[in-house]
Structure 1
Amino acid sequence: MSGATPPAQPPPGPEHDPDPDPDEPVRRLPLPRPPRPVPLWRWRRNPLRRRTDRLLGWIGLSLLLLVPVLGLAATFAVGDAAHRHYRATAEHQTRARSLLAAVLVHDAPNHPEPGSDEARKARYPVTVRFTAPDGRDRTAKADVLPGLTAGSTVTVWTDRHGALTEPPLTIEQIRSRTMGWALLAFMAVALAGFAVHGAAALILHRRNLAAWDGDWARTAPRWTTSP
């Protein structure tokens, strides 16, 4: 058709040159850079800013200020409760448990590297004999140092019924468990803050989509109707 508009052609360049000069260096167009994020754009006046954008910005700022405060409060509260709990547990264990002398029934195995750091930390289960708090002689398995011979004396912790048990909680154990619970409390508050911000962003995003659908439903008939 003589009146038809020819299709748009790409600009001339080395990729479209039918006879490129082999001695001429190839020039390539620079790739477009992604737009840089604008700081505090949710509070800046611009025609594209929506009320939901401003609301989400205020929610994020509020959480940024509240999460550290609430996290520290939860840390101290949970840490104090955990410290009181474990201290009371240690006191109860001290009253309910007894430190007794026990005698090895047979020799303990030798460590492959005697005198090494690993040998000093290693423990082997060996049958020991001891007198329980009720006055009865008992035998049980206890972890002892390697290389001890039969008849050697070791100390064991027993409960009121004469069963071997762990020693009461030490000050270091109480401190480490208290710090662990305090750290978990702070992390829980931080994760809750992230969850609240994510939920708010999702709700506002769905609200934006619904608003766009409504605006398009009112605008589309005016665009598609022939004059």
Structure 2
Amino acid sequence: MAGEIPQAQPPPAVPEPEPGPVPHPYLLLWRWRRNPLRRSSDRLAAWMSLGLVLAVLVAAPAAMFGVGDSAYRHYRSTAEDEARGRDQRPAVLTHDAPRHPEPGSEEAKKARYAAPVRFTGPDGVSRTGTTEVEPGLPTGSTVLVWVDDEGRITEPPLTAEQIRSRTMGWAILAFLGVVLTGLTAHAATGQVLHRRNLAQWDAAWANTAPRWSRHP
């Protein structure tokens, strides 16, 4: 029928792009294969790369465990010293603690506010200081504070979780430090060899150019 609107047709299928060629394993190891284009610097670069990879594979775990063990001993000794030189004492709030904007919320349960307190030091002398307390505590409330041997409010001794966390942090930093050092050494040696190749090409061209530019 004239004037009839044809039905919509689906768009033509777009052919999927063909995957690119996958490098042959031998192409990735061209520096190790004998060929007329391989230079001595290429072979040197291959050996240096292999040496750096092996060195990093050996040194990185060793550094991680060595530094981690030293850090663990250090923090464990620190925690023991802190436990011997610090103790908990009762303290009384001398001013109302600030109230949280959302009382009873999960955030309010975790929030802590600085408030002035009065406590008795190891020498028996009454002292004042500031410590973190729960929101909304009224004046006269009793809280526990950690006090050092000089009567100053301080942090509690390191916990086992804090010791593990700090030890793991230093171990990871040591591992990454060795890896970054290996990458830096690889880049530096590659740059040196590249400049050496450029110098050799310049010298070879200086000998070849006169013969190419000589007129018959």
TM-score by length of 1: 0.82
In the other structure, the counterpart of 1:210 is: 199
User: What is the alpha-carbon root mean square deviation over aligned residues?
Assistant: 1.7
Tell me, yes or no, if structure 1 residue 199 matches structure 2 residue 188: yes
How many residues end up aligned between the 2 structures?
195
Tell me, yes or no, if structure 1 residue 72 matches structure 2 residue 56: no
In structure 2, stretches of 5+ residues that fail to align are 1-19
Specify whether residues 121 and 35 from structure 1 end up closer, same or farther in structure 2 by C-alpha distance, changes over 3 A only. Answer: closer
More helix as a share of residues: 2
Q: Report the Cα distance in structure 2 between the residues aligned to 1:195 and 1:112, rounded to whole angstroms.
A: 52
Deviates more, 1:153-162 or 1:104-113: 104-113
Give identity over the alignment, percent: 61
Shift in Å, 1:68: 1.8
Tell me, yes or no, if structure 1 residue 184 matches structure 2 residue 178: no
Shift in Å, 1:48: 1.3
CA deviations over 1:83-136 (Å, ceiling 9, x no partner): 000011111111111211101112212212122111111111111110011111
In the other structure, the counterpart of 1:129 is: 118
Tell me, yes or no, if structure 1 residue 44 matches structure 2 residue 37: no
TM-score by length of 2: 0.86
Bigger Rg, structure 1 or 2: 1
SS in 1 for 2:139: coil
- Written as runs of structure 1 = structure 2, the 5 A alignment for 1:159-174 is 159-174=148-163
Shift in Å, 1:34: 10
Q: Report the Cα distance in structure 2 between the residues aligned to 1:35 and 1:127, rounded to whole angstroms.
A: 70
Tell me, yes or no, if structure 1 residue 140 matches structure 2 residue 129: yes
Amino acid at match of 2:79: A
In structure 1, stretches of 5+ residues that fail to align are 1-32
Tell me, yes or no, if structure 1 residue 110 matches structure 2 residue 102: no
CA deviations over 1:112-167 (Å, ceiling 9, x no partner): 21221111111111111100111110111111001212221100011122111111
1:63 counterpart (46, 52, 61) = 52
Specify whether residues 58 and 141 from structure 1 end up closer, same or farther in structure 2 by C-alpha distance, changes over 3 A only. Answer: same
SS in 2 for 1:127: strand
Specify whether residues 35 and 92 from structure 1 end up closer, same or farther in structure 2 by C-alpha distance, changes over 3 A only. Answer: closer
Q: Report the Cα distance in structure 2 between the residues aligned to 1:115 and 1:68, rounded to whole angstroms.
A: 52
In the other structure, the counterpart of 1:28 is: none
SS in 1 for 2:162: helix
